[in-house]
Chains A and B, each alone.
Chain A
């Protein structure tokens, strides 16, 4: 419950305070969001499995966002930023789908 509240609070802060993202980081925000989404769904699945751990979640969240950003940044420097971000999104998307599938099994027992 506290997690959902935190999430809503964050969204409200982001929407209404409109914190300005530094120009060079703006390009990496969407990919960071996708990476964070992966961590969040992983955490949700772990929670439903009964093995959720705050520390693991925090570490996985931060490392996911950082690694995704770094990979795309590296790709930009090498001139393959578009392809690498596509690859990152594909991998993260697959993980998100499999996590969501597990969550679905938990919630609907199907």
Chain B
């Protein structure tokens, strides 16, 4: 029962609720008209007193209104190009930032690709059959800082038996240098004299009645261990100037020159493996 009543009543209360309708109605009807009417009623039969005194006020207000309308219209008109300019500037900024963003993204992409390439290169050197390690080893062997082993030849030279009698029967430092140069020329990959590895810093010279190799004095016979192709080294050695000179030494002065191929020749590392002053020059 109560529900029925409720339903019946509810639409009415909604439409006639003074709280809603009153407000709107008040807004609609409460115009300035009321004030004029009240003043007119209060004045009654009196026909417009003080009209001349307030005419000035009316004029002033009307002029003020005109000024307000004019100024605000002008302002809106003036603001429009400025607003348009600001908008255009903002759009341009957006485009610039967008372009910069794209550029940076491209840079990132390039850099990432480079990193990947370098990484794969490093990985290939490190993991790919130890390529990096083998390269270091190769360089170390070439520089003489690593002990090396391999096939090659062993040359044993000695002064002539009666060397003390004949001057030419003594092996000189130049002879050994010629031999070493001839060996390099013939394709030797590592050379040691009497167990002293020849590196880029090794000198062979005559000092104090003895040949020194890397500042260590040697006594004959001198054993020259060479790593290289055992098949080609001897023949190529004989074709070089140094080889022919040694043939002459052997033939004319009684100096012994024994050349033997070996399956396995071992040369030690040069003692000095650290550079004190020389540094790699920075590329570019």
Partner of B71, one of A19, A55, A102: A19
B58: nearest chain-A partner, CB-CB = A54
Collect the chain B residues with CB atoms within 8 Å of residue A95's CB: 27-28, 30-32
Q: Does A3 sit at the interface, judged by CB under 8 A?
A: yes
Q: Is the contact region of chain B dominated by helix, strand, or loop, or is it mixed?
A: helix
Scoring A6, A26, A30, A45 by chain B CB atoms within 10 A of each residue's CB, the highest score goes to A6
Q: In the complex, are the beta carbons of A54 and B57 less than 8 A apart?
A: yes
Collect the chain B residues with CB atoms within 8 Å of residue A12's CB: 66, 70
Q: Does B62 sit at the interface, judged by CB under 8 A?
A: yes
> Distance (Å) between the CB of B252 and the closest chain A CB?
114
Q: Does B73 sit at the interface, judged by CB under 8 A?
A: yes
Q: In the complex, are the beta carbons of B69 and A14 less than 8 A apart?
A: yes
> Distance (Å) between the CB of B1 and the closest chain A CB?
42
Contact flags B50-87 to A (C-beta < 8 A → 1, else 0): 11001101111111111111111111100000000000
User: Number of A interface residues, CB 8 Å?
Assistant: 46
Partner of B51, one of A3, A43, A54: A54
Q: Does A33 sit at the interface, judged by CB under 8 A?
A: yes
> Distance (Å) between the CB of B74 and the closest chain A CB?
6
Collect the chain A residues with CB atoms within 8 Å of residue B28's CB: 94-95, 98
- Identify which of residues 164-186 in chain B touch chain A, using a CB-to-CB cut-off of 8 Å: none
Cα–Cα, bound, A57→B58 (Å):
7
Q: In the complex, are the beta carbons of A52 and B36 less than 8 A apart?
A: yes
Collect the chain B residues with CB atoms within 8 Å of residue A19's CB: 67, 71
- Identify which of residues 64-110 in chain A touch chain B, using a CB-to-CB cut-off of 8 Å: 91, 94-95, 98-99, 102
Contact flags A49-60 to B (C-beta < 8 A → 1, else 0): 101111111101
B59: nearest chain-A partner, CB-CB = A6
Q: In the complex, are the beta carbons of B62 and A99 less than 8 A apart?
A: no
Q: In the complex, are the beta carbons of B36 and A7 less than 8 A apart?
A: no
Cα–Cα, bound, A15→B73 (Å):
8
- Identify which of residues 1-55 in chain A touch chain B, using a CB-to-CB cut-off of 8 Å: 2-3, 6-15, 18-19, 21, 26, 29-30, 32-33, 36, 38-40, 42-43, 45-46, 49, 51-55
Q: In the complex, are the beta carbons of A7 and B66 less than 8 A apart?
A: yes
Cα–Cα, bound, A45→B69 (Å):
20
Chain B, interface residues (CB within 8 Å), range: 35 or more
Q: Does B35 sit at the interface, judged by CB under 8 A?
A: yes
Collect the chain B residues with CB atoms within 8 Å of residue A8's CB: 66
Q: Does B207 sit at the interface, judged by CB under 8 A?
A: no
Q: In the complex, are the beta carbons of B54 and A54 less than 8 A apart?
A: yes
Partner of B65, one of A10, A49, A99, A102: A10
Partner of B32, one of A7, A9, A60, A91: A60
Q: Does B274 sit at the interface, judged by CB under 8 A?
A: no
Q: In the complex, are the beta carbons of A13 and B67 less than 8 A apart?
A: yes
B67: nearest chain-A partner, CB-CB = A14
Collect the chain B residues with CB atoms within 8 Å of residue A14's CB: 66-71, 73-74
Partner of A58, one of B54, B66, B69: B54
Q: A3-B62, A26-B75, A95-B27 are in contact. Are A58 and B57 (CB under 8 A)?
A: yes
Q: Lowest 4 CB-CB distances: which A-B pairs, in order?
A: A10-B66, A14-B70, A42-B32, A54-B54
Could you jot down 12 A-B contacts, CB within 8 Å?
A6-B63, A7-B65, A10-B65, A10-B67, A10-B68, A13-B67, A15-B73, A21-B75, A43-B32, A49-B33, A56-B35, A95-B27
